[in-house]
């Protein structure tokens, strides 16, 4: 693959990436319409539209932290400042997600902030009821229905601990309060109100779990841990082509609308790179994993690893779930 391809060159980037900015404008418009006018006409339809807008907004936050649509970081942050996704500060999403982009740690329950695996020793210590809950959460149905609740509870618990002493986390949450203030002010006057909004938010969080459900797998080779879902339908648009996940991990600065062409031009390369970890569509994922887990909860490659044995002995124990982020 030619690394001098203008698609991959920062010098080829426009000052403003209009496709991203246009989607952001439409997303805010749909969100405003769903929480106001549409809610007076059809509350159910309004909640659905608002949920889709929140999901798209989260995908746009992901674009912003990777440097889109502007080349100036504070402009991108300003565009996604309102806390439409109320439980995760943008700064914390950025910090944890960029840490996740260090591919050698992918799926590591200690170091990867977005891992859904547990150390087998930690798993064995859980009460039976918790093991049943986490096993159910490892099916796609469970991830969509109870995953947002599980992720949010453990995410907020972990953040509460960090807030006691971590200045960067304190700063990100203080900034988030400003975004939350805008949301509170809007919903104080919007017909939808908080009840309808929280329902829409939960649906949005469940939709995002479709994308994150199998983005990464346990594999000896770091390069082979990241999936490709060759979907070009509505979910691909909702996730801004992040279903082409191995392409995104290899070229995280490439804008979402350029990923399909990049993948199509180098498909064989990416499938060799990730050792064929691919699905044809999200429909195939639903068919295979809606009721049946893809992976065990305990990390399958950790049991006899001496490095993890040392970390267990010094008391380093990961959270049951660190992933409250989209």
What residues make up the domain containing 191? 14-313
Q: Is residue 233 part of a domain?
A: yes
* Contacts of 159 by beta carbon, 8 Å cutoff, 6+ apart: 92, 169, 173, 324
Position 6 pLDDT exceeds 50: no
209-233 per-position pLDDT tens digit: 999 999 999 999 999 999 999 999 9
Are 120 and 302 within 8 A, CB to CB? yes
Total number of domains constituting the chain = 1
Report the candidate in 312, 108, 314 with the shortest Cα–Cα distance to residue 220.
108
The single-letter DSSP state of residue 257 is G
Q: Is residue 324 part of a domain?
A: no
Q: Is residue 265 part of a domain?
A: yes
Q: Is residue 322 part of a domain?
A: no
Are 290 and 140 within 8 A, CB to CB? yes
Are 81 and 178 within 8 A, CB to CB? yes
Phi-psi domain of 208 (left: phi exceeds 0; alpha: psi -120 through 50; beta: other): alpha
* Contacts of 92 by beta carbon, 8 Å cutoff, 6+ apart: 159, 169, 172, 173, 176, 325
Q: What percent of the chain has pLDDT over 70?
A: 89
Distance from the Cα of residue 63 to its chain's centroid:
11
pLDDT of residue 326: 52
pLDDT of residue 306: 45
Report the candidate in 233, 259, 235 with the shortest Cα–Cα distance to residue 248.
259
Report the candidate in 116, 115, 139 with the shortest Cα–Cα distance to residue 293.
139
Q: Which residue has the tokens 């639903």?
A: 286
Are 53 and 27 within 8 A, CB to CB? yes
pLDDT of residue 188: 97
Q: Is residue 290 part of a domain?
A: yes
Q: Is residue 3 part of a domain?
A: no
Q: Which residue has the tokens 């990730």?
A: 274
The residue length of the chain stands at: 326
Position 309 pLDDT exceeds 90: no
pLDDT of residue 267: 97
Q: Is residue 2 part of a domain?
A: no
114-126 per-position pLDDT tens digit: 999 999 999 999 9
Q: Which residue has the tokens 């989607």?
A: 23
Distances from the Cα of 262 to the Cαs of 5, 197, 242, 269, in angstroms? 10, 37, 13, 11
Q: Is residue 4 part of a domain?
A: no
pLDDT of residue 315: 44
């Amino acid at each position: 693959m030619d690394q001098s391809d203008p698609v991959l060159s920062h010098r080829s980037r426009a000052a403003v990436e209009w496709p991203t900015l246009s989607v952001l404008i439409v997303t805010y418009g749909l969100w405003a319409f769903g929480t106001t006018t549409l809610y007076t006409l059809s509350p159910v339809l309004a909640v659905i539209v608002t949920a889709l807008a929140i999901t798209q907004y989260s995908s746009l936050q992901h674009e912003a932290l990777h440097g889109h649509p502007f080349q100036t970081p504070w402009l991108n942050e300003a565009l996604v400042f309102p806390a439409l996704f109320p439980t995760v500060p943008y700064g914390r999403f950025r910090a944890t997600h960029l840490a996740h982009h260090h591919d050698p740690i992918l799926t590591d329950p200690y170091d990867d902030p977005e891992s859904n695996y547990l150390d087998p020793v930690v798993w064995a210590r859980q009460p039976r009821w918790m093991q049943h809950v986490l096993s159910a959460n490892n099916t796609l149905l469970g991830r969509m229905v109870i995953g947002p609740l599980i992720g949010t509870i453990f995410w907020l618990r972990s953040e509460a601990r960090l807030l006691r002493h971590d200045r960067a986390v304190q700063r990100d949450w203080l900034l988030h309060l400003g975004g939350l203030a805008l949301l509170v002010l809007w919903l104080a006057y919007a017909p939808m109100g908080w009840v309808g909004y929280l329902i829409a938010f939960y649906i949005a969080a469940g939709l995002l779990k479709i994308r994150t459900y199998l983005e990464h797998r346990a594999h000896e080779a770091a390069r082979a841990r990241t999936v490709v879902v060759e979907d070009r339908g509505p979910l691909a648009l909702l996730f801004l082509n992040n279903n082409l996940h191995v392409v995104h991990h290899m070229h995280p600065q490439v804008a979402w609308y350029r990923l399909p062409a990049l993948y199509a031009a180098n498909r064989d390369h990416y499938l060799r790179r990730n050792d064929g970890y691919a699905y044809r569509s999200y429909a195939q994922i639903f068919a295979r994993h809606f009721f049946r887990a893809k992976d065990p909860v305990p990390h399958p490659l950790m049991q006899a690893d001496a490095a993890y044995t040392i970390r267990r002995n010094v008391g380093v124990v990961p959270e049951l779930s660190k992933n409250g982020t989209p």
